[in-house]
């Protein structure tokens, strides 16, 4: 257990938890929700490690009030959830499913009734299947459809949502979903997946314009970042690391912050039309940073299809996902963003930070997760250190409130502050929940700095 008192955070610092629709809602065929690319992918044999799907997940659709009560007990000031596009527009466009919008309306009101800011992500990977069938994010038409969907959701919730996040981790959606095929929709295009990057960013820019036209905001995007560690001392190793840096950390951020696409990746950019980059570079109110771990990179083997090799980063404790635990990586990353983008960098919120461990209830039904406490303690101190370094960080959201359905890993990875028994749907706050509750309570009591 960490013993040193947690340093203070600035006045108004946002304390939150994050989730996403397909990972917790369940109710996949309820009240008119349409199918998504993840329904299709999860129902395809061999795609998910334990053969499960998000059909039921945490049944949050029916248990949202209990889950909001858990958030209130934790003392968070914000909740980042995602809206399932196929719940609102079952075919992706056209006919609106009123029950779907009603669900998010109830959720938002429940949050506000408990003094919790609703932070709504508009796309967390669950594309309506009819849009996927029409090419998904490879198809430029998906971008304006996304903006129309954003407009529709804002028309209903815009008076109460405190921060919009357009896209969640477009890099992961491009690379794992369209490059490597381990996420939905399962395409294996490698570097030919670039149009997926561009059309997501175009959709983001058009959605920002739609939200602003409605007077709804503030608006941000949640990018996944990973500080790059070069393995090996050769020039080829350094070049591979620079390429990976451009791909993982700059491909989305450079155009968002007005710099256009990094040229060194050698992508075929035929998908980029005149005017697109200006749409994409619409000013952001917040940059969402999702951080889990650094990535170790070296030069590729001769027959590699990619211009880098990713290798295990050794010398650190590891989570159940086998990810290294490197809190300083978060400080390093925030410093890198600050130095690289200078005045172009908007205020940053850590929109995801968390870890998976094999948490099981003990004989008394309690769940002890000291490793998660150590993880959160280290990462919060890293954020505080970055603020001291001069980075404007205004919030921290733990991934995740609940144990939930972890994509290709199914139910095998538990990221929650709250344990979920997937047979009974019983929620049991873990010891990290009590620890974080005390940290947040102390922070909210402290005189502001
Ligand atoms: O569960 C995911 C989330 O959906 C996106 N960011 C990373 C998390 C952990 O893998």
| Interval 374-385: pLDDT, tens | 999 999 999 999
pLDDT digits (tens, 9 = 90+) for 331-364: 999 999 999 999 999 999 999 999 999 999 999 9
Q: Measuring from atom 2 of ligand 1, which residue has the nearest CA?
A: 406
Residues 6+ away with beta carbon under 8 Å from 378: 325, 327
Check pLDDT > 60 for residue 231: yes
Average pLDDT over residues 411-420: 98
Confidence of residue 429 (pLDDT cuts 50, 70, 90): very high
Average pLDDT over residues 70-90: 98
Check pLDDT > 90 for residue 133: yes
CA 262 to chain centre: 23
Average pLDDT over residues 34-45: 98
Q: Is 290 in the pocket of ligand 1 (CB under 6 A)?
A: yes
Position 2 scores a pLDDT of: 76
User: Catalytic residue among 110, 245, 332, 352, which?
Assistant: 352
What is residue 219's three-state secondary structure?
strand
Q: Is 319 in the pocket of ligand 1 (CB under 6 A)?
A: no
* Bridge partner residues of 224 (DSSP): 290
Check pLDDT > 90 for residue 34: yes
Average pLDDT over residues 44-49: 98
Position 448 scores a pLDDT of: 53
Position 421 scores a pLDDT of: 98
Confidence of residue 280 (pLDDT cuts 50, 70, 90): very high
The reply to whether 66 belongs to the active site is no
Position 370 scores a pLDDT of: 98
Average pLDDT over residues 415-421: 99
Q: Where are the alpha helices (DSSP H) in 43-127?
A: 60-74, 85-88, 98-113
Given its phi and psi angles, is residue 36 left (phi above 0), alpha (psi -120 to 50 degrees) or beta? beta
State in Å: Cα 359 to ligand 1 middle: 18
Position 4 scores a pLDDT of: 87
The reply to whether 169 belongs to the active site is yes
Q: CB-hemisphere CA count at 13 Å for 196? A: 27
Position 338 scores a pLDDT of: 98
Q: Is 406 in the pocket of ligand 1 (CB under 6 A)?
A: yes
Mutate which of 17, 20, 57, 81 for ligand 1 pocket (most atoms within 8 A of beta carbon) = 20
Q: Measuring from atom 4 of ligand 1, which residue has the nearest CA?
A: 20
User: Catalytic residue among 25, 169, 332, 406, which?
Assistant: 169
Burial 273-283 (b: 16+ CB within 10 A, else e): eeebbebbbbe
State in Å: Cα 354 to ligand 1 middle: 9
Average pLDDT over residues 435-445: 96
Q: Is 20 in the pocket of ligand 1 (CB under 6 A)?
A: yes
Confidence of residue 1 (pLDDT cuts 50, 70, 90): confident
Q: Is 67 in the pocket of ligand 1 (CB under 6 A)?
A: no
What the block records as the tokens of 303 is 């027959």
Check pLDDT > 60 for residue 449: no
Convert 367-392 into a string of H (helix), E (strand) and C (coil).
Answer: CCCHHHHHHHHHHHHHHHHHHHCCCC
What is residue 7's three-state secondary structure?
coil
State in Å: Cα 69 to ligand 1 middle: 23
pLDDT digits (tens, 9 = 90+) for 165-217: 999 999 999 999 999 999 999 999 999 999 999 999 999 999 999 999 999 98
Check pLDDT > 70 for residue 420: yes
Position 447 scores a pLDDT of: 61
State in Å: Cα 97 to ligand 1 middle: 27
Question: What's the chain's average pLDDT?
Answer: 97
Domains in the chain (CATH in brackets) are: 14-445 (3.20.20.80)
pTM of the model: 0.98
Q: Is 403 in the pocket of ligand 1 (CB under 6 A)?
A: no
């Amino acid at each position: 257990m960490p013993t040193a008192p947690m340093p203070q955070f600035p006045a108004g610092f946002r304390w939150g938890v994050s989730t996403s629709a397909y990972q917790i809602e369940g109710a996949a065929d309820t009240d008119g929700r349409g199918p998504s690319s993840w329904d299709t992918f999860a129902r395809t044999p061999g795609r998910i490690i334990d053969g499960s799907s998000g059909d039921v997940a945490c049944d949050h659709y029916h248990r949202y009030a209990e889950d909001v009560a858990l958030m209130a007990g934790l003392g968070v000031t914000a909740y980042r959830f995602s809206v399932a596009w196929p719940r609102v527009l079952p075919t992706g466009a056209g006919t609106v499913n009123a029950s779907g919008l009603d669900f998010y309306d109830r959720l938002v009101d429940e949050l506000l009734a408990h003094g919790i800011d609703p932070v709504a992500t508009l796309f967390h990977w669950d594309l309506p299947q009819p849009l996927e069938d029409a090419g998904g994010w490879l198809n430029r038409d998906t971008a304006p459809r996304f903006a129309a969907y954003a407009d529709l959701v804002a028309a209903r919730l815009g008076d109460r949502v405190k921060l919009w996040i357009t896209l969640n981790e477009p890099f992961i959606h491009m690379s794992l979903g369209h490059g490597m095929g381990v996420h939905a929709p399962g395409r294996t295009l490698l570097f030919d997946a670039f149009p997926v990057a561009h059309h997501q960013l175009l959709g983001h820019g058009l959605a920002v314009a739609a939200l602003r036209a409605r007077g709804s905001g503030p608006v941000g995007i949640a990018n996944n970042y990973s500080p790059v560690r070069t393995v090996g001392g050769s020039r080829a190793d350094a070049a591979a690391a620079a390429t990976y840096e451009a791909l993982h950390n700059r491909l989305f951020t450079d155009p968002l912050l007005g710099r256009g696409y990094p040229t060194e990746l050698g992508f075929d950019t035929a998908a980029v039309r005149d005017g697109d980059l200006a749409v994409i570079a619409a000013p952001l109110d917040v940059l969402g940073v999702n951080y889990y771990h650094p990535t170790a990179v070296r030069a590729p083997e001769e027959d590699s299809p990619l211009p880098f090799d990713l290798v295990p980063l050794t010398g650190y404790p590891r989570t159940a996902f086998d990810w290294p635990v490197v809190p300083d990586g978060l400080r390093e990353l925030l410093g890198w963003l600050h130095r690289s983008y200078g005045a172009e960098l908007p205020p940053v919120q850590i929109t995801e930070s968390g870890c998976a461990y094999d948490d099981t209830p003990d004989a008394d039904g309690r769940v002890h997760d000291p490793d998660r406490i150590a993880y959160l303690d280290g990462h919060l101190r890293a954020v505080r250190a970055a603020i001291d370094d001069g980075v404007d960080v205004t919030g921290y959201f733990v991934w995740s409130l609940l144990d939930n359905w972890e994509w290709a890993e199914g139910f095998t990875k538990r990221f929650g502050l709250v344990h979920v028994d997937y047979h009974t749907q019983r929620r049991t706050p873990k010891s990290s929940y009590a620890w974080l509750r005390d940290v947040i309570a102390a922070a909210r009591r402290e005189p502001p700095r």
